Structure 1
Amino acid sequence: MRRTAPTLALYLALAAPAAACTASDTTPPSAPAGLTAQAGSATSVHVMWNAAAEGEGVSGYQVFEAGALVRELPAGKTMVDVTGLSPQTGYTFTVRARDAAGNLSEPGPPVSVTTPAAKAEDRQPPTAPASVAARATGPRAALVSWTPASDDTGVTAYDVYQGGVRIHTAGPGASETALTGLQPDTVYTLTVRARDGADNSSPDGPAVDVTTPPASGDGPNTAPAEFTATASPGTVALAWTAPDTGRATSEYELYVNGRATTVIQFGAGAVPSGRAEHRLTVTEPAGTVWAVKLRARLPDGNWGAFSAERTITLAG
């Protein structure tokens, strides 16, 4: 038998089992707290809020503008860019939590924001923040600070990146921000970019390392559990239980024969919080042996631990 590097023609067949609902569940979750809204450009606003507490049973969030539903998101998403807005216009956002039984919370406190004037010819990015600092404030949190950037039309937001992934956005007047959802005893390399009203992003400011301290206890397991791989003619079916890291994850990295092969991304409304499924279309000949495993993208931007590895023989 042989192991070959795969050539995949991929398509998504994504499914997340619906959580069981009972007629007796009529208690809504608590209203989301910590809502912020920052104009990212003349036509977009970045909306963020705090994740629901464990035990609330939240399965998703609804974002409203002036009482009208504008976005619906899974439980793992606590920020969204609302686009298609008008320049120099005031908007008021609220967020409601939804549980698996369909109960909706009351709206959290509203937040108002005004988009800046459009600068259609603005192609000049802001300057990079000249200095960046960070310190851990606990096993799962850190404080990041930076010197303000400058721009010919004005900075509208600061984006914090970890491993090339944006994990947080702060407002134009901010010079520091708190990060949550980090992993204990972990080194993070953070950068900050400034953004203007035309969505031009600056280069990264200086990278800064911060190490979170260990936490008592083992903490959540970040590896996908109960991973299975089943071959049938022309396809490979994968299934796993999503890791419980405090938020659902929409992104998984698949390895075949020890090499990263593809990233599986679940679309909005299909992010699994329990059992997940994905199907591959394969073109390798029957008898080809694959060793497959995967890992989840965590809320802090890092990849989690690998699942168990499964060896399968492709079917004809």
Structure 2
Amino acid sequence: MCTAAALLTACGEQEAGDTSGPSVPSGVTAQAGSATSVHVMWERSTDDRGVTAYEVFRTGTKVTSVPATKHMIDVDGLTPSSAYTFTVRALDAAGNASPHSASIPVTTLAPAAEDNRAPSRPGAPEGRAEGARSVTLNWGAASDDTAVTSYDIYQADSRIHTVPGTTTTARITGLRPGTVYTFTVRARDAADNASPDSPSLDLTTASAPGAGPNTAPTALTAAARTTGTAHAIDLTWTPPKTGAPVEEHQLFLNGKLATTIVWGAQPPPGQVRYTFTVTDKPGTRYSVKLRAKLPDGNWGDFSAQRTVVIG
């Protein structure tokens, strides 16, 4: 029988209590998105056990908390032409909190006159991957009848970054190695009118050391088609080179597995085509991506994502 004195040895080492808080969130920015909203972003904190959440404070008062996977938030319901300060702190599973970040001042925009006109579509983005975990983007400026106040960068239909309307470049960090990302940009004005999406840009981060070749399908296109009252989406893509024919693909629609495409005895060579019907009403937006089944039985990397709207 183990004695109390032997609990840490003969009975196995007991995990010590966690009394160390996460590091202070760095890189905090606060950008006025409109007369009543501010967009707050920050860099990841670190912790010896793991960060579980972030808390955002406005002028010393907590306004929200978000899970550790999020590093930005929109704070709404603010007063036009008013000064605020924002800080962020990190929490771990034991409830330890980091010190507050540096205090970031921001002033909301002046109230806009009646404005129902959205900015024009931003120009096509260009960019490059910078190693395995970051990319740099730039795009053509949008125009607006009043002024463009911000640009929102989207990855696969999720907003991941915002920059002021005077800036047409952004650096996106915290990405995964060997992964294809699809970026689009939208412009906003002071009344929170949003432009149409820019053309999309696919960028692939460098693979991690020792990782195998990328196995994502490439050159994916998606086009909506309407015949009478029937709606369909036509896809084309090039399967990855695996050393053997790719007989199966999984099709994901709006982030969820929709179907498995099986070619049968012999898959077509080169570029392939596939059409599927959809039943939602016109104006519905769909996001599509694919991955291939590899010769070893595992599923490969995801393709770039494409977005279509039923006409």
Q: With the length of structure 1 as denominator, give the TM-score of the two structures.
A: 0.61
Q: How many residues align?
A: 214
**5+ long unaligned stretches in structure 2:** 1-14, 213-253, 262-288, 300-311
Tell me the residue number matched to 1:180: 173
After TM superposition, list the pairs within 5 Å mapping 1:252-271 onto structure 2.
255=257
**Structural mapping, 1:188-207, within 5 Å:** 188-207=181-200
Is residue 56 of structure 2 the alignment partner of residue 63 of structure 1?
yes
1:254 CA displacement: 5.2
Report the counterpart of residue 155 of structure 2 in structure 1. Answer: 162
Answer whether contact 1:88 1:116 (CA < 8 A) is retained.
yes
1:112 match: 105
> How many Å apart are 1:132 and its aligned residue?
1.8
The match for 1:30 is 23
Q: Which residue of 2 aligns with 1:12?
A: none
Identity %: 50
Deviations 1:192-245 (A, max 9, x none): 1111111111112232222222221459xxxxxxxxxxxxxxxxxxxxxxxxxx
- One-letter amino acid matched to 1:115: T
One-letter amino acid of the counterpart of residue 147, structure 2: G
Deviations 1:119-151 (A, max 9, x none): 252111112222421111111210001122222
In structure 1, which of residues 117, 138, 141 is the aligned counterpart of residue 134 of structure 2?
141
RCO comparison, higher one (Cα < 8 Å, 6+) = 1
Letter in 1 for 2:73: V
CA distance in 2, matches of 1:66, 1:216: 44
Contact 1:49-1:79 at 8 Å conserved across structures: yes
- 1:62 and 1:96 in contact (8 A); partners too: yes
- Structure 1 residues 56 and 37, CA gap change in structure 2 (3 angstroms): farther
Stretches of structure 1 that go unaligned for 5 or more consecutive residues are 1-21, 220-251, 260-301, 310-316
Equivalent residue, structure 1, for 2:10: none
- Other-structure match for 2:271: none
**Counterpart among 35, 45, 48 of residue 52 in structure 1:** 45
Cα distance 1:178–1:200, how it changes in 2: closer, same or farther (>3 A)?
A: same
2:188 counterpart letter in structure 1: R
Q: 1:128 aligns with which of 121, 125, 129?
A: 121
Contact 1:34 1:49 in 2 (8 A): yes
What does 1:197-276 correspond to in 2, within 5 Å?
197-218=190-211, 255=257
Which is further off, 159-168 or 83-92? 159-168
Q: Per the alignment, in what secondary structure is the counterpart of residue 24 of structure 1? A: coil
SS of residue matched to 1:41: coil
**Larger Rg belongs to:** 2
**Structure 1 residue 23, shift from structure 2 partner:** 8.0
What is the identity, as a one-letter code, of the residue corresponding to 1:119?
A: A
Q: What is the SS of the residue equivalent to 1:185?
A: coil
Equivalent residue letter for 1:68: T
- Kept after mapping to 2: 8 A contact 1:30/1:56: no
Runs (4+) of structure 1 exceeding 6 A deviation are 302-306
Amino acid corresponding to residue 74 of structure 1 in structure 2: P
Q: Which residue of 1 aligns with 2:307?
A: none
CA displacement at 1:37 relative to structure 2 = 0.8
- The alpha carbon displacement at 1:186 in A equals 2.9
- CA 1:213 to 1:257, structure 2 compared with 1: closer, same or farther past 3 Å? closer
Structure 1 Cα separation of the partners of residues 34 and 56 of structure 2:
19
Cα 1:217–1:71, aligned 2, differ >3 Å: closer, same or farther? Answer: farther
Return closer, same or farther for 1:305/1:257 CA change in 2, 3 Å cut-off.
Answer: closer
**Matched position secondary structure for 2:130:** strand
